[in-house]
Amino acid sequence: MTMATETGAPVDTTKTALQVTDLIKQFGGGRSLLGRPLPAVHAVRGLSFEVRPGEILGIVGESGCGKSTVARMLVGLESPTEGRITLREEPLAEPGKPIKRTVLARKIQYVFQDPISSLNPRKTIREILSAPLYYLRGMTESQRAERLKELMAAVNLRPEFLDRYPHEFSGGQAQRIGIARALAAEPEVLVLDEPVSALDVSVQAQVLNLLQDLRRQFNLTYVFISHDLGVVRNLCDRVAVMYFGRIVETGSTRALFDNPQHHYTRLLLDSVPGARDGTLPDEAANAELPDPFHPPTGCAFAPRCSAASEQCRQSDPELDTRRQDGQQVACYHPAGESAD
Amino acid sequence: MSRFMNISNALPLARWFGHRHSRTSPLQLLLRNRLAAAGLIVLIAVCILALITPWLPLHHPNQTALGNRLLPPGSDGHLLGTDHLGRDILARILWGTRVSLSVGISATLVAATVGSILGILAGYFGRHVDNILMRGIDMVMAFPYILLALAIVAVLGPGLLNALYAIAIVNIPFFARNVRGVTVTLRNREFVDAALLSGKGHARILLTEILPNVLPVIVITMSTTVGWMILETAGLSFLGLGAQPPQADLGSMLGEGRRLISTAPHVATIPGLMIFLLVMSINLLGDGVRDALDPRLKAGALRRPAARTRTAPAARQQPTGEPKGLLEVDNLRTEFHLDGQVHQAVNGPTFHIEPGECLGIIGESGSGKSVTAMSLLGLVASPPGIIQNGQVNYQRQNLLGVSDPVLRGYRGGELAYIFQDPLSTLHPLFTVGDQLVEALRAHRPLSYRAAWQEAVRRLEEVRMPNAARRAKSYPHQLSGGMRQRVSIAMALANDPQLIIADEPTTALDVTVQAQILKLLNRLREQKQASLMFITHDFGVVKQICHRVAVMYAGEIVEIGPVEEILARPAHPYTRRLIGCVPSVDYEGGRLAEIPGLPPQVSNLPVGCKFADRCDQVTDQCRAAPIELDTLNERHQARCIFAREVSA
């Protein structure tokens, strides 16, 4: 079944492009030379989600919630400690198996947050964009020249920019070059890690519109990671909210923004300055994340949550999969039902 | 106040001249340094002499003539005299320089190659590779290096080639450690990840991505160590372990002349002078090369900014008439003079702040909003900043013209700053309590104990949980939101009349930002202070500001009450900037975008600065400067169509 999404692009809801199952990532850990266990940071603590072909899945969360670690695992820059990632039922990452990075890179590509630092200062744009064409697509020189022109046209940059160096570009132009490099590998899925957060708003709009156009033009699927709720609302079809390494709520963009169920999602939305009814949440000083070396047994948000009960501190709620509308929430006392 | 100076130095420099300004070539930089240029000339002269030595009409360097022993310099046929075997010193010096130079340079190349390979591998692969390689390097460094060189020569046997090996081995750690350090930082840069995702293998990334970026460091290390290597070669030869008789080498000549120092001092002095000349010229040149290539020095780390911004006489005049509001800024003009270019960062904004008011200054990066804020109390780094014109009137005084002690009294006292990144404004080595005590005692005669109690009280005021205990923590032990609370407590320490907050919530998460905004607003009301809030976010302006000034290319393009500007923006830039922001409250469909880029501040147009990006532009817009048009008592806009747009 194909249906038009909120953003107007066709999404095949019966198929799954990218599937992530029980993903866990720990940094550090292991044992010292003397056999003592070393502390491990629990960055991602059991994550499952799926992305449908042609869809934009937004992952939102604040710093330290593990959203960038998820992104890096999706493209193979980190390997998961546990769990698996599959693309169209083909396994991409499994624990204990080495990452086949070139295989992966032809299917999933990455757009970095900082457009300038993701471009080597000593290489021309031509050299930077040629690398994936040569190493991943094995193109000859004449094929590459042709494709470079197409890529520059696709991201609205003049072809004479090819022989310039990164420092000659503004942030917005550099980010378009970053997108062109990701497109060069002809991937099915683009993982975008805060691609517009380093840009000014007027330039941000240019890049976001470009991303919309490219998705339609090349039938792309996006995983869009951001902390900017306004951007997510206007770009994404579905959203997953992360807190301390887990997804606490997921659903269609409209449902999630209009009717947030998790108390953290509500707090996030109420915290956006100048939005909603114009009043910010209470000035509670406790906004600190739990210790990532020793994650709590219960819900990580419980210390900040007004609805927290003893149950919340004892055990961590799983994402509720029973709901019909596709909106899922990991909470014992969801906000919508807290009245009874 | 030193930490405020630091940030004022770093911020505008990075933003204005970060990557877009024209670069001076390293060679030009090098030649501008007179000592380095002198070193280069001497070195080139010595090298040319050494190269053409075989073709010069000289005596044979090893030809003995016992009849001509120890002739003084200036003797007939022997310009620099002869040594104890009657050999011509001029010939021996030139041949010896050839040997010393070639051994020193070869040893440098060997050490640089081996050391850099080890350093790059250790830095790139990290973990076990790093551990094994660097512990090996540490072992080499654990021995005093001249002893190690002696030991190596003792094993291999004396001779020039073995001395070369010994010196090269001893110097490998310098290269390995320097290169490893740089490689570790490069390894964590995103372009290496990007290269991995482009399908490049590790070997290729090392050669084509890392190496070109490490090369400047290798060159710097080479230029600063080659002098040492020549000295060490001379040292080994002096001890008789390097060049073997009769071969001439600067060190062995020195060693042979040593015994005759009282009878024929010139035999030892001349090679000594030659070593001095050679090593001195190489070191001067090496330092110059380092200064020219090192990115840290290039960014101006060596330039010590003045304690306040340089101010032209035009900007120092006393105010005439009654100033408006608490603080009045009139026609402020701040420029940066760099590389022969004038960057007009601030082009005459005029505004005032009422007592108890929150004035927002909004603009994109490069709009001059931060430089405006820093110009008020002379915090713009000079050089390259200079305030050319304007007045900043506070209590009937022009702050740009007051004496240094008066200005210092205002800074952090009645007029306080809060910056974007508290981690770089707080001193990492002092507890936050101590830093608050310092801020308090700089302005008030308090005992340490009383100041500490006051500091804890101030931390409680900004709702720091466990204030008494947290006062003893260091900045890195606090979260970003807590650090910003400390900065706010510091700004409020001396009950300021005006708080200038430069993007204080930009680096914070949205839930923390909400708390800080609430806190600032509550404190402003409680203390009856004014707040000047610099931001790029209309949501923040809507949340806490009464009035807002919109800046573009160093000018205020629109100023007025927040509700009025958000509802009826009069300037096309304001209108379109608001249109660009995706709202969290509704889906807006395709976002409006502003095509193009802001003008370069080193080359501003005569007329409207926004003309090139505006959809309503006419010829009239470009003809002459556009004045602020008063729409009503409180609302002004810099557009000839302002009345039509807002209607």
Please state the ipTM of this predicted complex: 0.88
Q: Which of A63, A208, A274 sits opposite B543 (nearest CB)?
A: A274
Size of interface A-B (CB pairs under 8 A): 202
Residue-wise pLDDT tens digits, B116-134: 999 999 999 988 899 999 9
Min CA distance, A63 vs chain B (Å)? 7
CA distances B414 to B315, B425, B427, B527, Å, are: 22, 19, 22, 12
The phi, psi pair for B152, rounded to 5°, reads -65, -45
CB-CB under 8 Å, A283 with B522: yes
pLDDT reported for residue B4: 37
Min CA distance, A320 vs chain B (Å)? 25
B582 touching chain A per CB within 8 A: yes
Helix/strand/coil for A284: coil
The phi, psi pair for B309, rounded to 5°, reads -65, 140
Q: Which residues pair with B209 in a beta bridge?
A: none
Neighbours of A85 (CB within 10 A): 22
Min CA distance, B543 vs chain A (Å)? 5
Residue-wise pLDDT tens digits, A21-35: 899 998 887 777 677
CB-CB under 8 Å, B197 with A121: no
Q: Which of A110, A267, A269 sits opposite B197 (nearest CB)?
A: A110
CB-CB under 8 Å, B583 with A131: no
Q: What confidence tier does B300 reach under pLDDT thresholds 50, 70, 90?
A: low
Evaluate the CA torsion angle A204, A210, A213, A218 in order and state its sign.
negative
CB A332 within 8 A of CB A255: no
B596 touching chain A per CB within 8 A: no
Q: From CA B97, how far away is CA B628, in angstroms rounded?
A: 72
pLDDT reported for residue B247: 86
Optimal mutation site among B128, B218, B510, interface A, most CBs of chain A within 10 A:
B510
Among all residues of chain A, which has the CA nearest to that of B202? A101
**Position A230 pLDDT exceeds 80:** yes
Chain B partners of A170 at a C-beta cutoff of 8 Å? Answer: 20, 597
Residue B593 or B295, more confident: B593
Architecture category of domain B33-61+74-299 in CATH: Orthogonal Bundle (1.10)
Q: What confidence tier does B13 reach under pLDDT thresholds 50, 70, 90?
A: very low
pLDDT reported for residue B15: 43
Residue A266 or A32, more confident: A266
Residue-wise pLDDT tens digits, A169-204: 888 899 999 999 999 999 999 999 999 988 888 888
Q: From CA B242, how far away is CA B235, in angstroms rounded?
A: 8
CB-CB under 8 Å, B592 with A205: yes
Q: Which of B19, B194, B463 sits opposite A181 (nearest CB)?
A: B194
CB-CB under 8 Å, A281 with B543: no
**Position A5 pLDDT exceeds 60:** no
| Listed range (A54-63, B112-121, B460-469) with the worst mean pLDDT | B460-469
* Tokens 């009645």 found at: B414
Highest-confidence segment of A203-217, B281-295, B582-596: A203-217
Chain B partners of A204 at a C-beta cutoff of 8 Å? Answer: 580
The length of chain B is: 647
CA proximity to B385, closest of B28, B17, B29, B33: B17
DSSP symbol at B54: G
**Position B20 pLDDT exceeds 50:** no
The ranges assigned to domains in chain A are: 2-107+187-337
Task: Give the pLDDT mean for B637-646.
Answer: 81
CB-CB under 8 Å, A283 with B213: no
For all residues of chain B together, what is the average pLDDT? 87
CB B530 within 8 A of CB B357: yes
Q: Which of A101, A121, A285 sits opposite B196 (nearest CB)?
A: A101
Q: Give the burial class of B473: count Cβ atoms within 10 A of its Cβ; 0-12 exposed, 13-18 middle, 19 or more buried.
A: middle
Task: Give the pLDDT mean for B169-186.
Answer: 92
Architecture category of domain A2-107+187-337 in CATH: 3-Layer(aba) Sandwich (3.40)
**Position B552 pLDDT exceeds 90:** yes
The helix or strand, by DSSP H or E, that contains position B191, with its residue range, turns out to be helix B190-197
CB A295 within 8 A of CB A244: yes
Calculate the CA dihedral of residues A95, A96, A101, A102 and round it to 10 degrees.
Answer: -110
CA distance between the termini of chain B: 48
Residue-wise pLDDT tens digits, B242-295: 888 888 888 889 888 888 888 888 888 999 999 999 999 998 998 888 878 766
pLDDT reported for residue B45: 94
The length of chain A is: 340
Min CA distance, B196 vs chain A (Å)? 8
Q: Which of B190, B195, B364 sits opposite A200 (nearest CB)?
A: B364
A29: region left, alpha or beta (phi > 0 left; psi from -120 to 50 alpha): left
Task: Give the pLDDT mean for B41-55.
Answer: 92
pLDDT reported for residue A296: 85
Min CA distance, B512 vs chain A (Å)? 7
**Position B637 pLDDT exceeds 90:** yes
From the centroid of its chain, how far is CA A335? 25
Min CA distance, B231 vs chain A (Å)? 35
Task: Give the pLDDT mean for A66-95.
Answer: 87
* Tokens 């650090």 found at: B483
CA proximity to B576, closest of B539, B608, B610: B610
Q: From CA B522, how far away is CA B626, in angstroms rounded?
A: 39
**Position B324 pLDDT exceeds 90:** no
Helix/strand/coil for B342: strand
